[in-house]
Structure 1
Amino acid sequence: MKGASAVVDELVGPIVAALALDFWGCELVRQGKYSLIRIYIDKESGIDISDCERVSRQVSAVFDVEEPIAGEYTLEVSSPGLERPLFRLSQFQQYVGDEIQLRVKRPQDGRKNFKGDLVRVGDNGIFLSIDGKEFEFQHSDIDKANLIY
């Protein structure tokens, strides 16, 4: 069975693409019986408020029918911004050489939070240079990652 986040991704991606926008990713934040669904969209020329409104209207209509989230939720649509979150390995590849921060699901070297330069992207993960030492992180072990501006 797919998790709610994966279902949301599958529903939102085609909607955003149909509006000639890039689906950057989404975050699902649960707080008790309430949820926040944050959708990130982008396009080469940059997005504006009307792009966010169009996506919000379309996604809301689909969510009203499909009900991918149990209970009440708030829907946010925005640009990924300067300190954009990174969801897919292809996104990491675009930022090799840049500084990123990430949180892993299980401690590595006794910690869960890391900040370093993205050295390269492999088939299943990424490599960061932190204080002159290279660390490997499997994509499946990354809880959250974003650029540092």
Structure 2
Amino acid sequence: MNRDEIIEVVKPVIENRDCFLWGLEILRGKKRPTIRIYIETDEGANIEDCENISKDLNYELALEDSFMEDYILEVSTPGIDRKIFYIDQLEGLLGENFKVKLRQAQDNIKNFEGCISDYNKDTFTIDCKNGSFLIKFSDIEMCRVNPNFKDIVRMGENYGR
């Protein structure tokens, strides 16, 4: 099964538990692959959501004839330093600090750190110390929220509100 086929199987299972698929990664291990699934809800997914969906997915994936036999399944929330899988996930995160790594250097720069100030269906603008850069989402290798942990500790449970 490829990534899209796995998404086709797992997405309805996740949605059946009132969650949505944030992202999916397939990591090739030496002996067996790891399927890492990130789930979220509008209120924030919790450990029980992850546990229930993990159980449901183990059952559902076992029923799939075309599915790889031996794998490791991980289900978690995207976390505070969430990886961005789709450009529309930037909604609600404008102004947050991000780390971005490109597949190929742009303006002789491959790694960016700064605030994302704008996005559309194909590109986003990241404001860094050395200027603003327009980046095609299709050119990124990795885009992840880069939270300031000092602010998180200082603000405690009020962080992000």
Smaller-chain TM-score bracket? 0.7 to 0.9
Question: Which has a greater percent of strand?
Answer: 1
Q: Who wins on radius of gyration, i.e. which is larger?
A: 2
CA deviations on 1:38-95 (whole Å, 9 max, x unpaired) are 1111223332322111111121222223366646321111111111111111111221
TM-score (normalised: structure 1)? 0.85
Equivalent position of 1:112 in the other structure: 110
> What is the alpha-carbon distance in structure 2 between the residues aligned to residue 99 and residue 80 of structure 1?
16
The alignment yields a C-alpha RMSD, in angstroms, of 2.1
Task: Verify: 1:23 aligned to 2:39, yes or no.
Answer: no
Equivalent position of 1:77 in the other structure: 75
Structure 2 counterpart of 1:27, which letter? E
TM-score (normalised: structure 2)? 0.79
- For 1:55-70, what aligned pairs fall within 5 Å after superposition? 55-66=53-64, 70=68
Q: Aligned pair count?
A: 147
Counterparts in 2 of 1:5 and 1:110: CA distance versus 1, 3 Å = farther
Counterparts in 2 of 1:112 and 1:34: CA distance versus 1, 3 Å = farther
Unpaired runs of at least 5, structure 2: 148-161
CA deviations on 1:115-135 (whole Å, 9 max, x unpaired) are 111010022121111124111
Q: SS state of the match for residue 97, structure 1?
A: coil
> What is the alpha-carbon distance in structure 1 between the residues aligned to residue 71 and residue 6 of structure 2?
12
Q: Percent identity, aligned pairs only?
A: 28
Unpaired runs of at least 5, structure 1: none
Counterparts in 2 of 1:15 and 1:148: CA distance versus 1, 3 Å = same
Task: Verify: 1:144 aligned to 2:142, yes or no.
Answer: yes
Equivalent position of 1:8 in the other structure: 6
